[in-house]
Amino acid sequence: MTPIRVTVWGENRHEQIEEHVAKIYPQGMHTTIAEGIVENLGEGCDVRTVTLDDPEHGLTEESLAATDVLVWWGHAAHGEVADEVVERVHQHVLSGMGLVVLHSGHWSKIFVKLMGTSCTLRWRSEHDRELIWTVDPTHPIAKGVPHPLVIEEDEMYGELFDIPTPDELIFISSFSGGEVFRSGCTFHRGHGRIFYFRPGDQDYPTYHHKDVRRVIANGVQWARTERDRRELPVLLRYDTEDFFNGKSYTGPIE
């Protein structure tokens, strides 16, 4: 199989203005995330990075057409993502591009649009220990992941997480305050596969964690479509006498 073409999209704002974040991620969080994917998938992937401040946020039509899986991290500047770019990404996901949404990307325009809910949650950033428990150990995204996966310090996310019921729930997290959270969820939209994974606040070195990097790489592998071409789901008319050959719908009266 050909290498998975991965685009890692990073907001890249905290790293530019907050010294402690820059020390953790001197080349940007997007670079560290990309390195983790390459570390785990090796020659099975072709990874590049783009950021919010690139022309068209690095998500041109040509860029998306050449992307099998888009990995998304955003936080402080969700509102700066142009609506026309969000619509472009949305169309590509419905057509079969995979999407991996990380941490505070839960409130990105694209994730909210795909979920159709507020995607709100509870949070606290006070150096909480996180235990990530695997609830679906046979899922490919859980392959090679310890049970539990321990993150010594990260931001807390807690329920209620206002998302649709996931198609698959792979991980749940528990925190030092007693909170729990659906931290690894999959969804299908159109022909596209979506994986949401919770860890990764910018104030902590979470994307250097070898097991977090493994989960993201597994998610990238899973999110790649098995379809041989990218196309939107279309409305077809099927005549009673012909159950197998749909025709393009042109209107209620022909």
pLDDT tens for residues 9-54?
999 999 999 999 999 999 999 999 999 999 999 999 999 999 999 9
Give 110 or 252, the one with higher predicted confidence: 110
pLDDT tens for residues 59-108?
999 999 999 999 999 999 999 999 999 999 999 999 999 999 999 999 99
Q: Is 168 exposed, middle or buried (0-12, 13-18, 19+ CB in 10 A)?
A: middle
Domains of the chain with bracketed CATH: 4-117+181-248 (3.40.50.880)
